[in-house]
Structure 1
Amino acid sequence: MSVSFIRRIAAPKKALTTAAVAAATVGMALTSAPAHAAPAHSAADAKTVAHKMIPDAAQFNAFSHIVERESGWNVNATNASSGAYGLVQALPGSKMASAGADWKTNAQTQIKWGLDYMKSRYGSPVGAWNFWQANGWY
């Protein structure tokens, strides 16, 4: 068997092996996101987070009614006329930075801020919902 024949067989195998290793490496890099990546929550994710943070059914339901009407559980909801932002429509949205630097994209941070706001202003989410029903805002 000649050396040139062996080189012709080995070269394509080496190229394929190199390509496979490179593809596997890229695939691993693409599938492993850092743990600190900013979460972008869907409406279902945001509701799940809220349910964990608000175990009392009456308080959760009141909070949920408000968020459904204010933002439709959209973490990025923005009121075009007022500029209110997020799940609970904070005005200005940057107020939520007091609950976390990731306030623009993290449902948990927005929920935490919203709960604190409702508790300080209305005593609870139920109090906020009662006010919302009477006034159409909170």
Structure 2
Amino acid sequence: MSRISVRGFAVASATAVTTVGAVVGVASGAPQTSDDNFEATAADTTLLADIPAGQHAQVQTVSLAQQADAQANAADVAAKKSAEESARIQAAKDAKAKKQAAEEKAEQAREAKEEAERASRSETRDSSDFVVQSSYSVAEVQAMARQMIPGDQYQCFSNIVDHESTWNYQAQNPSSGAYGLVQALPGSKMASAGADWQTNPATQIKWGLNYMNDRYGSPCGAWSFWQANNWY
């Protein structure tokens, strides 16, 4: 039974009860109930059904819609957080991959450089590879040096020789006694590279290269020191 039916039943019942009371009151001589009391009694009975059936359905519909909106909002927030977390994880992976690629590239470059240096050294000639002459021009001495010194170190070696002797393998400092292309002091030190250290520029080049490698790591290391101190 719907609330409308309950209301109708309640009103009908109240009407019947009131009518019977009125008849009994008349028969017994009791005072009659006024029409106002009858209407008030009938009105009071309507409290049994406070919300009509149609309005109750509307309230339920609104509540379901609000729940759906709340669930949709929660789903949007969760999806946004998930997307942000996925983006963060992907960014971290990308950064790690880039770092690894950069490290691998640097390692490859280092290995390539070392290989080039090894190849350059293997292609260099020793002082004994040159035919001994009675004299040598600057161009001939420089040609020897180019063949004996690794390509990436030649310019540094040349810079030092330019300042020390201007490529004169017989240059001698009268005050200090320094001698030769690299101005060894004393010149007799170069005997460790060959007995002909006074007359053979190849022997002097060999000794000078060994000296620079042992003391400064390379001719370029020796040149850096020379630039800072004007000697090496």
Task: Tell which has more relative contact order, 1 or 2 (C-alpha 8 A, sep 6+).
Answer: 1
> Share of identical aligned residues, percent?
65
How far, CA to CA, are the matches of 1:46 and 1:98 in structure 2? 20
TM-score, normalised to structure 2, is 0.43
* Residue type of the alignment partner of 2:196: D
Residue from 160, 181, 189 that aligns with 1:66: 160
CA distance in 2, matches of 1:119, 1:80: 27
The partner residue of 2:178 within 40, 64, 84 is: 84
**Is residue 161–residue 182 contact of structure 2 (8 Å, CA) maintained in 1?**
yes
One-letter amino acid of the structure 1 residue matched with residue 149 of structure 2: I
Paired residue for 1:101? 195
1:120 alignment partner, SS class:
helix
Alignment of 1:17-56 (within 5 A): 38-56=133-151
Q: Give the residue type in structure 1 aligned to 2:158.
A: S
Q: Give the CA deviation at 1:76.
A: 0.3
The alignment status of 1:115 with 2:115, answered yes or no, reads no
**1:30 counterpart residue number:** none
User: Which entry has the higher C-alpha Rg, 1 or 2?
Assistant: 2
How big is the shift at 1:38?
4.8
More helix by share: 2
In the alignment of these two chains, the number of paired residues is 102
RMSD of aligned residue pairs (Cα, Å): 1.3
TM-score, structure 1 as length reference = 0.71
- Runs of at least 4 residues of structure 1 off by over 3 A? 36-39
Specify every segment of 5 or more residues in structure 1 that has no aligned partner in the other structure, as ranges: 1-35
Offset at 1:55? 3.3
Question: Using the alignment, how far apart are the partners of 1:88 and 1:110 within structure 2?
Answer: 7
Stretches of structure 2 that go unaligned for 5 or more consecutive residues are 1-130
